[in-house]
Structure formats: C-alpha cells, structure tokens
Chain A
Amino acid sequence: MEHKQLIIIGGGPAGMSAAVSACNEGIRDILIIEREEALGGILKQCIHNGFGLHKFGEQLTGPEYAERYSDNVKELGIPYITETMVVDVSDDRVVTAVNKEKGYFQIKADAIILAMGCRERSRGALNIPGARPAGIYTAGTAQKFVNIMGYMPGKRVVILGSGDIGLIMARRMTLEGAKVEAVCELMPYSGGLTRNIVQCLEDFGIPLLLSHTITEIHGKDRVEGVTICEVDEKRVPKKETARHIECDTILLSCGLIPENELSKSAGITLDRVTSGAVVDGDRQTSVPGIFACGNVLHVHDLVDFVSDEAEIAGKGAADFIKGIKEEKETVEIIPEGGVRYTVPQKVAKGEGASLYFRVADVYKNVTVALYDGENLIAKKKRPKVAPGEMERFEIKPEYLENAEKLTLKLIFG
C-alpha cells in the first residue's frame, strides 16, 4: 500500500491552510485530496468581497482569498490531486479514494487532517410542507448556478433563512435583475453577519421578516408562490397571519451541517451540538493522528478564522508525525448557561488555547466566565453577543493546572 506522512482531505481554505502550516513545520510528504477540478473549495463561487480582513487586512473576493493559499501550496511544492473523492477513512488511517485515472486506491497515512467542509440544510431536512415543484434551491446551489455555471435560477425570489449565503444571494440575484420579495427568518434575530444585513438587504430595500417562516410551497411544475406566516415565541406559525407571496424561486439559507460521514467511518467521536468532531487544542480528534479543521469541525462565519484553525491543525499533525508530542492529560471544557459549544472541547495541561464558542441567543451586557467548579477563574465583558457571531475566549496554561474540568458560561446583567 502506498504511504504518505500526511493526507489532507479537502482542498478548500481549511485544507490548504493546514497543508501550508504542516509544510512550514517541516513535513514534506503531504497529499491534499480534492474532489473538485481545482483547489479553493466553496470560495471559488463566493465572488463577493469581504474575505481576508482579519488575515490580510484587506478586502478580497473568495477566489482571491483562495488564490493566496493555492499559490502558496504551489510555491511550496505541496502535492495535491483533484477530481478525487475520498470514500472511506479507517481508524488505522487508511484512506480509500477514487478518481478517473487510478480508479479506487488506498493510501496509509501517519496523520490525516479532515477538511471536508459542510453542506447546507435542504428542503427535505427542513421538512417544509407543500408541493414539490422545481425552483427550490439551497442558497449555495443557486450561487453555483449563477457564479460558476452562469445561469439564472429565478426571477422572483423568496429566501427562507437569513444565513450569510442567503443574504449574499439576495444581493447577487438582485444585481442580476431578479426581484427578491422577502427574506423570512424563523428566529427573532438574523443568523447572518450584521454587515451582510446592511449591505445585502437594507441597501437594496429587501424586507427582512423576522419571526416568519414559509408554511406552504405552491406550484405544479415550477414554484408559483409561497404562504408565509409569522411565528409565536415557540416558533409555531400563527395561522391568522398567513399571506401569499407570488414567486418562482425559493432559496434556503437555514444552516450549515458539517459533512462528517468520513469521520463517522473512522469511528471519531462527534459533538452533538457542532455535528463535528470532539477535538483538543491541536484539533486532534478522538482517533489518534486524525485532526479536523474548518467547517467540517464547526461552522465558521469568516474564512479568516478557518485559516487560523487550520494552521493549528497543520502544526498539530506535524508534531504528531515528528513524534515530539507526548501524551498529556487534558481538561474538558463544559459549555453551560447560554454557551452552546466550545471548540476545542478539551485542552491539554500545560498548553493554552483560544476557545471558540457560540451563544444560544442574542444577549446584551453579558460576562463570559470560566469556572472551575464554584471558583471563577477568568472573565470577560461583552456588550452584545449573538448566535450568528462566533466568540473567542483565551485559556491560559495556568487556568488548567489544578483543574479536572472547566465550565464556560454567560453571566447576565
């Protein structure tokens, strides 16, 4: 069986950044496996700007951001193959993949980095009742039709969900001549970034209907309209508020789901909240030598943070391959009271970590607090937190010294 020191599954922003990081740590025997024709992942179809503000201090488009990394991969001579689909990963780090040239083949790796990204929640998964005509797309599929294929998937559009891709597509479809009738958001707040709500909806006069949902889809061959309803605080549609909107297209932007089918095949423990792997500070999963980063680990708002996380995973994998990492006791971080999850979920003693986390609702004037049992270890004030914006909390090595597990929670008022 062929052997590689490091296999990276996925050549999107996470995979490329992890590869560059591992290479800079001295690992040369790397292979990035990408399923599409070129490196870049979903950034290839994100032709709007706003990428790279944190990482490069400038506004880049998705393809430009991806190019920075793919140029880097090529300059460093990191090997990659495209149009190759990984179909299985085993717990002893054997990767099975398939492409046109080699057919099905297997490679044994010393370490693997999972960087497969995520998928969008579909109409089926949302279980929206009504007819089943053509014209119902996830926002990302519509984005591919418009930006990659060059075709218009709709003229009159209603968008369900106010995730960032939906907001971006509201603007994109409008610029291409479509009429976006409304964006319906089930929750009383948007899951998208504030800047996207301003630049993609408000600037174009597109109504954002909070606490609203689509209760029925109409149309025989192609979508002909939707019934929308306001929902109560339990998110149950209020029938008396039902109204019809004529449209030929429905775009769905109702959440992203990390694509962890391969992680499952390798027997990796998953976090029920993130739907990604449970990892330590190096982004190592429950299976030794298998690391995860990017949207396959947890859904990010900004690609800049994906790149940061992938650098950590790349270094972690390099250290693992070099065998310089001794096994250390880890401290579990428990999310509680308004904190939905943290990544990493555990941190090794003697090391610090940046904890990324999301909150359950929109809160104002809260304190993020780290506890060891009853003892407050560290805290940080935040004027406003929202589920749509990922938060960060620094864990210093000294916090962990005497702890078995720590709790991260919000204190209100």
Chain B
Amino acid sequence: MYDVAIIGAGVIGSLIARELTKYSLSVVVIEKEADAALGATGANSGIVHAGFDAKPGSLKARFNVAGNKMMEEVCRQLGVSFKNNGSLVIGFDDEDKKVIEELYERGTKNGVERLEVIDSKRLHELEPNVSEKATVALYAPTGGIVCPYGLAIAALGNAMDNGADFRRCFEVKSLEFKDGFYEISDGSENICAKFVVNAAGVFSDAIARLVGDDSFKITPRKGEYMLCDKESGGIVSHTIFRTPSKMGKGILVSPTVDGNLLLGPTATDIDDKEDTSTTPEGLAVIANECLADVPGVPTRTVITSFAGLRSVDNKGDFIIDSPAKNFVNCAGIESPGLTSAPAIAVYVAELLEGLGLELKKNEAFNPYRTSMHEFRDMTMEEKNEKIKKEPAYGKIVCRCETISEGEIIRAIRENPGAVTVDGVKRRTRATMGRCGGGFCTPTIVEILARELGIKYEEVTKFGGESVYNFGKVK
C-alpha cells in the first residue's frame, strides 16, 4: 500500500514524486511506457519561459513565473543542464508591435522581471543573425533553456534515491476507490494507494474518466521539430520567438543546452494521441519560417526531425483540481508546463495535504544528484582519475558525442535505469550526434543485453515491439 500513486512519469509526475519524497511518504510512479519522459516531456522545445504569454490570473501565469524562478536551483540540485540565455519575441510590422506591447503589459502584470521592448538596433546588437526585417522585439532576460527529459529523468531518479518506486509498462485500465484507498489495475495486476495523482499527459482525460470526471477533454496538438548539428548551434544565443498567434507561441529558433540548434514547433490539432510522425508539410513550414526569422539558419545541417504532442485541454488553462476523493488532476499541462513543473509539484503537495495527506518532513531527504554529464564536464586530470578507477570510461562508444562505455553503464545502473537504447540516448546523448547512431547502436545493444541479462535480440529501441533484431542469422 502506497501513500501516493502518481500516474505518468513525465516532467510533471516526476517532479511531484520528488516533491513528495521530501516528506515521510511511500510513493510510486506508474508509467505505461518502458521509460520516463516518453510523452510531451521527451519532445518539446525545452524552453524556460519568462511568463509573459499567459493571461494574468490564470494558473499558467502563476506557475510559469513561479516555476521560472525555481528552475535554476532545481536543475543545480539535480545536475540537469540549464542555461539562462534570455528570449526574444521578434516582430516585423505594426501589428506585431501591438502584440509585443500587449505581451509586455501582460508579462509585467504577471510579475515577469526586467522585460523590455527593444528596437531594431538593440535587437541586432543582441542577435546579429536575426532578419534585418525585424523591427521590434520583446526582450525577456529571465528566459532560459533546459533539458526537458533530463529534468524528468533526474527528478524521478532523485525521488527513487529517496525511496520512491517506479513501475514501468503498467498501463492503468481501472481505478477503484474502496475501503479508503485506490486499487489501480492494468487488467492483471493491482497497485494500491491512498491518494492518486493524474499526471498522464495527453491521456489525463481518460484517467480522469476512470474516477467519473468527464469535465474536460484533451486534444493532442502536434509540434514538429528539426534539430541541427552542433556546428550550427551558435547562430543565435537567445531563444528567438516569432510574435505569437492563436495556435501557440509560433516557431522558434533556439540553441539547446547541449549546443545544437532547435527549429520548431509547428502546431496542428490531431485525433490520434500516439501519432508523433513528422510530415513533409510540417518540416517545410519550419524551414520557411525559421529562414524568415533567421536567414542564416543552416537547414542542411539538420541531423534529426521529430514531433511531440501538447496536451491541450478545452478549458484554456492548466487543470489542477480534485474531482474525486483523494484524487488530484494535473491535466492540460501544455506550454508553459515545463517551466511551471517545479511550482506545480509544490502546489500539488499542498493540495494533497488539504485532502488529508499528512506531510511530515523526511529528515533523510537528499535533494542532490550527480549530473549525467559529470564525466563530460570534468577536466582531463579528473577524467584520468576516473578512468584509472573505472577503465570503461576510457572506451569511447559514441564517437560523435564522445560518450564512453562507463557513462552508458552508469545510465543503465543508476535510478531510473535505462532499459532501452533510447533510454541510454536520453541519459547520455549516445546516438544523438550527427551519425544518428549508425556506428554505436550495435555496441549499445550489446552493453544493454549484457547489463540487463537479456538476449541481444530482446533489446528494444523504446520498449514494446521496437526490437532491433529478429534473432540469429542462419
């Protein structure tokens, strides 16, 4: 019997789990996939928004500004890549200027600090590669970038280090409240918990319906992206947004915390909650818009494209409420959900306390976790000390990103351990370079099979039937 079960191991569920392990509680995170961060958390812009987009008074506005202020410290504790690079919303005409001025007003009301409307001269001093046609911009020095899946994995790992459990491949089919606790079933097995938090992303409406709450609907809004080689990462230093439209914040051009250049996302409402395919139309739109904003964007250095699904609800704001006994919804957490996540986690803990969950401080709680990129960031002397103790750190497996076998083994052994090639990728960056894993994938499959004690052909890309091989050759 757990005190709290959290459904969904995205950035929201993972940070809530970590928040709850600050108290003497037994916590389980339930995930239908083979790893954490496989939904919206795994495919989004990785932007720490300043907080000028959301309507004043909304939950989005409140948690965005609060989350923005918390993010740097949370990332420091968890060893997650974060950079306060500042953001710019650029405008091309008077209409854009009007919107930018509205954003400035809104941001100021929301409590965003140091916002500025700047002219073309200042804009091009800050970003010389932005289109000369851009005449005005909103400058938000508090904007930042973060590794979104890195944050979720680290938060969940830290929660596990502090006692939380992680159940993978458990798809919640029913939720039954009886005798003061929930019986959570996947159809064959039960997990029992006194309180349940619904952090199921695009599926959060389906989970809410299991406890009789049909008050909202989630529509997946697809966002396609292209990622450029690290050699192009320096073309801009700030996150460049286009003046927003109704469908979202528009297409951005941004460096990532790892030094690549990210282009996207598009915004298309779709029906299928698992359709993360990219489309020729989407990729063309990204290329065209990015080239209009930053004419030098080197689209020929694209190393991958991908798509994520935003959880857009029909209420226009985050849905964080308690529609049933001892049950909390965290639904419709679309942008600025990532930024808001640390603040939402604190708020959900308070909500649960209000519902009767006792929050007694866990004296043993350790907020810290060593960065997954600790080895990469070491000096040469430190690296050599490490290799002397653990020679596997001296064997480079992924040549494009210079990732050693030691780092891959650590990713498999450390909470929450990687069990798939994509799991290794998200933790270490192996296969994320320009060759797309062409050289190192067979070796990573070998390391996974050895470490997990499974057959070579049982290793998958991301769980389920996503195997690499169908058995031995003749």
Contacts and interface: CB of A to CB of B under 8 A. Distances in A.
A56 to B, nearest CB: 29
Nearest to B446: A149
Given A144-B442, A152-B470, A101 B402 contact: no
B59 interface: no
Contacts of B383: 98, 103-104
A134 B466 contact: yes
Interface in A218-265: 220-222, 261, 264
Interface stretch (B106-114, B302-310, B356-364): B302-310
A138 to B, nearest CB: 5
A134 B442 contact: no
B394 A98 contact: yes
A361 B85 CA distance: 46
Given A87-B402, A101-B394, A120 B303 contact: no
Contact of A222 (B396, B400, B465): B465
B226 A133 contact: no
B286 to A, nearest CB: 10
Given A85-B396, A119-B439, A124-B305, A134 B467 contact: yes
B457 A151 contact: yes
Nearest to B421: A134
A215 B439 CA distance: 25
Nearest to A119: B435
Contacts of A122: 303-304, 434-438
Interface of chain A, main secondary structure: mixed
B442 A176 contact: no
Contacts of A103: 383-384, 387-388, 394
B22 interface: no
Contact of B442 (A119, A123, A141): A141
B469 A145 contact: yes
A150 interface: yes
Given A98-B396, A100-B391, A134 B461 contact: yes
B429 to A, nearest CB: 14
Interface in A142-179: 144-146, 148-155, 176-177
Contact of B277 (A123, A132, A150): A132
Interface residues of B, number: 57
B297 to A, nearest CB: 14
Contacts of A138: 436, 438
A373 interface: no
Interface string B387-419: 110011011100110100000000000000000
Given A145-B442, A151-B456, A125 B395 contact: no
A130 interface: yes
Interface in B432-474: 434-439, 441-442, 445-446, 456-457, 460-474
Given A130-B277, A132-B276, A152 B473 contact: yes
Nearest to A147: B473
A145 B283 CA distance: 31
Contact of A141 (B277, B441, B474): B441
A217 B279 CA distance: 10
Contact of B394 (A99, A124, A149, A216): A99
A140 interface: yes
Given A127-B302, A151-B471, A134 B462 contact: yes
B280 interface: yes
A129 B394 contact: no
Q: Taking each of B387, B399, B436, which has the highest tally of chain A beta carbons within 10 Å of its own beta carbon?
A: B436
Contacts of B456: 149, 151
Contact of B280 (A151, A215, A220): A215
Given A98-B394, A124-B305, A215-B280, A152 B472 contact: yes
Contacts of A261: 400
Contacts of A351: none
A104 B276 CA distance: 41
Nearest to A99: B394
Contacts of A150: 472-473
Contacts of B435: 119-120, 122
A102 B437 CA distance: 26
A291 to B, nearest CB: 21
B368 to A, nearest CB: 27
Nearest to B441: A141
Interface string A342-375: 0000000000000000000000000000000000
Nearest to B306: A132
A153 B470 CA distance: 6
Nearest to B385: A103
Contacts of B247: none
B397 to A, nearest CB: 9
Contacts of A100: 387, 391-392, 394-395
7 contacts: A87-B396, A98-B396, A124-B436, A129-B282, A176-B473, A221-B463, A222-B465
> Can you list the 5 inter-chain pairs with the closest CB atoms, starting with the nearest?
A122-B436, A124-B304, A103-B384, A221-B465, A134-B466
